[in-house]
Structure 1
Amino acid sequence: MSRIRHFVTCLFHGLAVAAVTTIGLTAAPPAAAQSSNSIDSVEGLPTFVMPPSGPFSPNEITIPNARAIAAWVRSGHSDASSEAFTHWDEEGSIPPVCATCHSGAGFRAFHGLDGSAPGLPEQPVPTGGVVDCETCHNRNLGAVEQITLSSGVDHPVIVGEAACVTCHQGRAAGSSVTKAVDELPEDSPNEDLGFVNPHYALAAASSLGGYGGLGYQYPGKTYTGRFLHAKPVSTCLSCHDPHSLEVTQDTCLMCHQTGDPAEIRISRQSYDGSGNTSKGIRSDIEANSELLMSLISDYAAEVAGTPIVYDGGHYPYFFADANGDGLADERDGSRIKYASWTPRLLKAAYNWKFVNADHGIHVHNPHYALELIYDSAEDLAGQLDTDFASLNLLR
């Protein structure tokens, strides 16, 4: 018996204690109490009627959707123990600006799906919520026809992508970097500058490319727009199972020889100077990204005057490394955040983080990623003793 089938069977029997605790189910009420809700068993499985509580709006979800619920349970959207949903536990509530995506209740408030006026929740939202069924299955979500991106672009959406674009566009844009650096001298450290964080899981942002403007786009350069892919691939749900979030590899196999996105290459030229076009395009992005980080380190030490180190496990990620040992400097037990930002360095670091914050960018918009990395690397190399042309990178 497969794990999923075993889970569903246990769910209906009320025996999977951990799973029941996770999704808020209780034992089925007596037969007399459930007569109005009784539904025939599905493919031989006994029925289990959910109580009128929890995040599922059980009066709207029928028993045959048990498999969808089981798929959701193993997704990141349901993981109530993850950092995405526990970050504010000590405070006891989630700030309105964060609750929009880190709580189903906050999402509904933001779009006015709970009867309130659309906009950020008026009050912090209690912790404990996840991306529940009502986040994506609310009957009023179809009324959301456009999402305003962090760049200010009003992007039209259909109901199948409204939730995805709302929460996977990040919280900053190239315009945020432009505003931060204003007209400051490009290579002069400024203590008033701080790292601009594009946020996390930026699939919607990267897929929109230059049209969305969510990466820092250098003046005078042109950028690939929305990655429309092939015709059958038009929204997030074209590739991702809506509940488990897993990639449906059969979609890839309609056009590609492999269903593994990491092995797919959509270009016959090498972008990383290796000349190897037999590997997936992700390898080119990773190689150029490593080069950019190396240039960021060289520039920080040689031009900004303070070595820098990246630590992805601690915000704000970039820290001072005065002794050059590859570890963040500390003071009183706390890491010393990098404080020698120049406008040129900030632009490159933002783009590096933008590209690496979307672990599927090689599928969502590989050309946009390569363009952002190339332009950032070229800009830094111009201030270093680096022969950029000899690297044989392609844009």
Structure 2
Amino acid sequence: MYRRNLAILLLFIIGAGIVGWVFTRVRAEPVNEITIKWSTSGHADRTSPAFRAWDENDPPVIPPVCAKCHSTLGYLDFIGEDGTEPGRVDNAPPIGTTVQCVACHNPSSMAMTTVTFPSGVEIGDLNGQGNCLQCHQGRASTVQVNNAIEGQDPDAVLEDQGFISVHYRPAAATRWGGEVSGAYEYPNREYVEFFEHTRDYQQCSQCHDAHSLQIDPQECAPCHSNVVGVADLRGIRDDDTDWSGRGETTQGVAVEIDTLWSRLYDAVRLYAAEVVGTPIVYSAGANPYFFIDTNGDGVADPEETVGSNSYASWTPRLLRAAYNLHYMQMDPGGFAHNPRYMIQILHDSLADLAEQVDVDMTGLIRP
């Protein structure tokens, strides 16, 4: 009898533990906790240029081309939740909103089954990620760059051509890689597609908190033993291939990408100076990002990063390399979103410039 009762007690304890664990995993998060998280996120930052860039507009509205992702009202218009046709913003919304709860929590968002990227490729099987993909896909792709350079001499300056920017934080385009061609993909090259992570970390909100947008490094630590804090994420590496030819494979893959990016910037500057004849300098924080390097020092000085000094001597070869150079800066999490795609893009950009200027490709390995 004692053993029987003990067995029943043990089963009860185990069962209660399992139920408790399941409850803690699936219970709804209190609204007040969600609100606190959201209020400290970039989606709620009313001081950000992402929501204040149009304050001086007359009338004070956000242009439809921007409103999809920079206004709750604009997004509701885009998905058709306001009764208008989905897939476009019909009315310029007033300034003053951020990305508020109703932007994601509404019937149209919940019913979303596909998302179309700038390349025209439609992605399904969203698993609740549709809202993220809509606004983190960028605004350009291989298609837009090819439209600008098609049929042109690769080293002749294009007439009236400005820089083509992917826009900000194209994490979804990086994640889907060669499926959606968010970065510029060179002809006759193959590119990795969707980056498969582990089973429990495939969706955006499985790595990023859906409301705070933050990453909990302790979720990564069981598989990536180097991770203690967020800064350690850049130290993650899943193999010992020396992609950048540095002779060093103990640092994270992010360092490989950084190294290749620096080499690409040097190559872009060399090409602009030697082939185009107009030195170029880059500033990730000053639209339109590329400017004439008036003193040739490779540093984007304040007096250089002004609209009147924007770079305008684009050849097809320079434009596609610069597009990729900028793309890498716009997705700082690319090392986690799809590292091999990022390395492929950087490698091919360097190889293309190497056809015209002295770029040392020794030791570089393409995934």
Normalising by structure 2, what TM-score? 0.86
C-alpha deviation, 1:266, in angstroms: 1.5
Amino acid at match of 2:348: D
Q: Which amino acid counterpart does residue 156 of structure 2 have in structure 1?
A: S
1:394 maps to a residue whose letter is I
**How far did residue 328 of structure 1 move?**
6.0
User: In the alignment, which residue of structure 2 is the partner of 1:394?
Assistant: 365
Which whole-Å deviations, capped at 9, do the CAs of 1:86-142 have from their partners, x for residues lacking one? 011111110111110001111111001222221322221111110100111113312
Q: 2:343 aligns with which of 370, 380, 385?
A: 370
Aligned counterpart, 1:348: 321
8 Å Cα contact 1:147-1:154 kept in structure 2: yes
1:177 corresponding residue in structure 2: 145
1:70-219 equivalences under 5 Å are 70-91=36-57, 92-158=60-126, 160-219=128-187
What is the SS of the residue equivalent to 2:240? coil
CA distance in structure 1 between the aligned counterparts of 2:249 and 2:302, rounded to whole angstroms: 40
3-state SS in 1 of match to 2:190? coil
Q: Secondary structure at the match of 1:262?
A: helix
Distance verdict in 2 for CA 1:271–1:63, change over 3 Å: closer
How large is the RMSD of aligned CA atoms in angstroms?
Answer: 1.8
Shift of 1:239: 0.4
SS across alignment from 1:309: strand
Q: Taking every aligned residue pair, what percent have the same amino acid on both sides?
A: 41
Q: Deviations over 1:12-60 (max 9, x none)?
A: xxxxxxxxxxxxxxxxxxxxxxxxxxxxxxxxxxxxxxxxxxxxxxxxx
Distance 2:247 2:311 in 1: 36
Contact 2:353–2:359, Cα closer than 8 Å, also in 1: no
Deviation at 1:355, TM superposition (A): 1.6
Q: CA deviation at 1:184?
A: 0.5
Q: Structure 1 residues 384, 175: CA separation in 2 closer, same or farther (over 3 Å shift)? A: same
Over 3 Å counting, the alpha-carbon distance change for 1:168 and 1:222 in structure 2 is same
Match of 2:265 in 1: 293
TM superposition shift of 1:250: 2.9
Please state how far the C-alpha of 1:271 moved relative to its aligned partner: 1.1
- Report 1 or 2 for greater relative contact order, CA contacts < 8 Å, sequence distance ≥ 6: 2
Q: What is the CA distance between 1:335 and its match in structure 2?
A: 3.6
In structure 1, C-alpha distance between the alignment counterparts of 2:324 and 2:203, rounded to whole Å:
24
- Structure 1 residues 215 and 327, CA, compared in 2 at 3 Å: closer, same or farther? closer
Gaps in structure 2 of 5+ consecutive residues: 1-27
In the alignment, residue 345 of structure 2 is paired with which amino acid? L
**For this pair of structures, how many residues does the alignment match?**
331
The CA distance in 1 between the partners of 2:313 and 2:73, in whole Å, is: 40
Give me the whole-angstrom Cα distance separating, in 1, the residues matched to 2:162 and 2:77: 31
Contact 1:319 1:329 in 2 (8 A): no
Q: Distance in 2 between matches of 1:293 and 1:387?
A: 13
